[in-house]
Structure 1
Amino acid sequence: MRFGLAILPEHPWSAAEAMWREADAMGFDHAWTFDHITWAGLPESPWFGAVPTLAAAAAVTSRIRLGTFVSSPNNHHPVQFLREVLALDDISAGRFILGIGTGGDLDAQITGEELTLRDRVARFHEFAHLLDRLLTEERVSSEGRFYAARDVVTRPGPVRAPEGPGAAPPNRVPLVIAANGPKSIRLAVEKGEGWMTYGGKAETDEQWWGLVTTLSHAVDQALDAAGRERHTLARYLNIDAGPTFALHSVAAFEEAVGRAAELGFTDLITHWPRVEEPFRGQREVLDAVVADVLPRWR
């Protein structure tokens, strides 16, 4: 099992830098930040851009992998985004993970868009397919419903191909595709080195784990239908998306890890504890999890 820590981009860099350094020193396998214009969970909070945040984080860390949690068509055009992805991969010396998804409702609304959810999903699929081409081909032209790419020269390409389970093929930054619906799950199986989920909205922990279980089985079925071996797709779970924050206590965190492991998840992501909701928790719990729980589950 691998473990990730999400750090919300709500802090000025003078405060955030120490958090990213600590995530690296603690031994987390990957660290993430939210890529939104405005996150619905903290709509009045100060908020900073994901790309410059990760570039700064790459400069002050040496080992930990860094990812977007998640990037979407709401605030990125795939051709423009390619350059930022390549820069992040270069600055991090190949440690960047590209998490992508359809995107939140609030981001879609505040820019004046009036796309239906069906159209937003269709746009995301076009976004993902075009990004995949831009990250693997030397020159790309494409005319789609939502995006055009006209003779785009994609050099310099990624720094290096990552190694290990869920690794990208040569010349591709790894794609981790957030998906809950059947079409997007098939997309993750077709194009992703990893699949990511938050499970869904639920009133109780048991209801939430039921949703996670259903989605995990759906991914198994999609992999089998595509003829892809199950172990070749990394599976990322946001274990804080249910009613109980995983770092509420050491026991809560360990229970979540055990249940996720039974469902075949390879990577779990928790959040740096905050002093108030969301993700309200104690730093002491994070430290105890790092010292005791993570080593036993690796």
Structure 2
Amino acid sequence: MRLSTVILPIHRWGEGQKIWRRADDLGFHAAYTYDHLSWRSFRDAPWFGAIPTLTAAATATERIRLGTLVTSPNFRHPVTLAKEAVTVDDVSGGRLTIGIGAGGIGFDATALGQEAWTGKERADRFGEFLPLLDKLLRQDATTETGRYYSAVEARNIPGCVQRPRVPFYVAATGSRGLRLAAEYGQGWVTYGDPKGPADVPVEQAPAVIAGQLAKLGEACAAQGRDPRELEKVLLQGSTAERPLASLDAFVDWAGTYQELGITELVVHWPVADSIFENDQAVFERIATEGLAQLGS
């Protein structure tokens, strides 16, 4: 099992670079950031762009993997996202992971002036977005005409450092998204019950993930793919569980999900006066001792 973190893009870089470097020093497998234009309670507070932040983080770190968790079609286009991904992968020396999903109904959904898409529309768009992004990152030149997304002689030279392309971690819980994860993903991401993760009683939260893992296995079987090929990533912070309250709480929580088959846990870097407020000393102890006590 691996342990990673999410660093929200809320810090001016003079301060932000210290956090990314500290994450590198603490030994986290990866450090991700949210790819939103603004987000929930942080909407009227500082919030920077994900791709420039990851590019800067690539120059400030040496070992840690970097990525979005997650980007979506809400305000992205495959052609421009592919170009940016190739760039970050190059700057980082092949340390980029693209966490990607269908998007939601938050501020990003209407920031460009469009009406918020229905769930079906989001799924339809994602079903076209992800295959095109896959092609753009594998080929020097791509031409394709779609209902929602097209590319005309779109160049991506020299391509990704990682071959055949940067890995995709696909966030999905519905049948269509899970099929895409099984077909295109190197990893799969969940944060709990998408209908209301915080409403699920703590003792029932693992059963939700177990059910999702079973459906992922079915989707992989339909694609003729071994589900063991995919990383199974659990993003902490949306459920009623509180694994960052203490080292013991983390070890218990991590052990539960390790038994279910989760291979990577992602915890939020503490943010004071927010839903992600946690004791920094406890957090750093979890980072350095948590998996060792688990026996990983």
TM over 0.5: yes
Paired AA for residue 264 in structure 2: D
> Does 2:150 align with 1:135?
no
Q: 2:177 aligns with which of 159, 184, 192?
A: 184
Please give the TM-score of this superposition, normalised by the length of structure 1. 0.93
Say which of 157, 160, 166 aligns to 1:173. 166
Q: How does 1:258-273 map to 2 (within 5 A)?
A: 258-273=255-270
1:243, CA displacement in angstroms? Answer: 1.3
Equivalent residue letter for 2:2: R
Q: 1: CA distance between counterparts of 2:256 and 2:112?
A: 39
For residues 128 and 41 of structure 1, do their structure 2 counterparts lie closer, same or farther at Cα, with a shift above 3 Å needed?
A: farther
Per the alignment, residue 152 of structure 1 pairs with 154
Q: 1:166 corresponds to which residue? A: none
Aligned equivalents of 2:219 and 2:41: distance in 1? 31
- Deviations 1:245-271, CA, capped at 9 Å, x for gaps: 431222221122111111111111001
- Give distance in 2, aligned partners of 1:287 and 1:138: 42
Q: Is contact 1:58-1:66 (8 Å) kept?
A: yes
Instruction: Say if 1:103 and 1:41 are closer, same or farther in 2 by CA, change over 3 A.
Output: farther
CA distance in 2, matches of 1:110, 1:246: 34
**Residues 154-207 of structure 1, C-alpha deviations (whole Å, 9 max, x = no match):** 211011x3xxxxxxxx32111111101111011000001111111122322223
Q: Which runs of 5+ in 2 are unaligned?
A: none
CA displacement at 1:290 relative to structure 2: 2.3
Number of residue pairs aligned between Structure 1 and Structure 2: 289
User: Which residue does the alignment assign to 1:289?
Assistant: 286
- Superposed counterparts of 1:13-52, under 5 Å: 13-52=13-52
Q: Report the AA paired with residue 114 of structure 2.
A: E
Distance in 2, matches of 1:270 and 1:188, equals: 22
SS at match of 1:70: strand
Against the structure 1 CA distance between its residues 63 and 148, is the aligned structure 2 distance closer, same or farther, given a 3 Å change threshold?
same
**Mapped pair 1:240 → 2:237:** yes
Q: Cα 1:277–1:205, aligned 2, differ >3 Å: closer, same or farther? A: farther
- Write the letter of the residue equivalent to 2:174: G
**Deviation, structure 1 residue 126:** 0.8
The aligned residue for residue 164 of structure 1 is: none
Q: Match for residue 93 of structure 2?
A: 93
Give the 3-state SS of the residue equivalent to 1:23 in structure 2: helix
The answer (yes or no) to whether the contact 1:240–1:246 under 8 Å persists in 2 is no
Secondary structure at the aligned position of 1:110 is classed as coil
With structure 2 as the length reference, what TM-score do the two structures score? 0.94
Q: Which residue of 2 aligns with 1:111?
A: 112
Pairwise CA distance, 1:292: 1.9
CA distance in 1, matches of 2:206, 2:173: 14
What's the CA shift for 1:221? 1.7
CA 5–184 in structure 1, closer or farther in 2 if over 3 Å, else same:
same
Cα deviation for residue 105 of structure 1 reads 1.1
Q: Distance in 2 between matches of 1:225 and 1:116?
A: 27
Q: CA deviation at 1:241?
A: 2.1
The answer to whether the 8 A contact 2:58-2:92 is kept is: yes
Partners of 1:294 and 1:210 in 2: how far apart?
22
Residues 2 and 267, structure 1, Cα contact 8 Å, conserved in 2? yes
Report sequence identity in percent.
Answer: 40
Q: Which residue number in structure 1 is paired with residue 276 of structure 2?
A: 279
Give the Å deviation of 1:32. 0.4
Amino acid across the alignment from 1:111? L
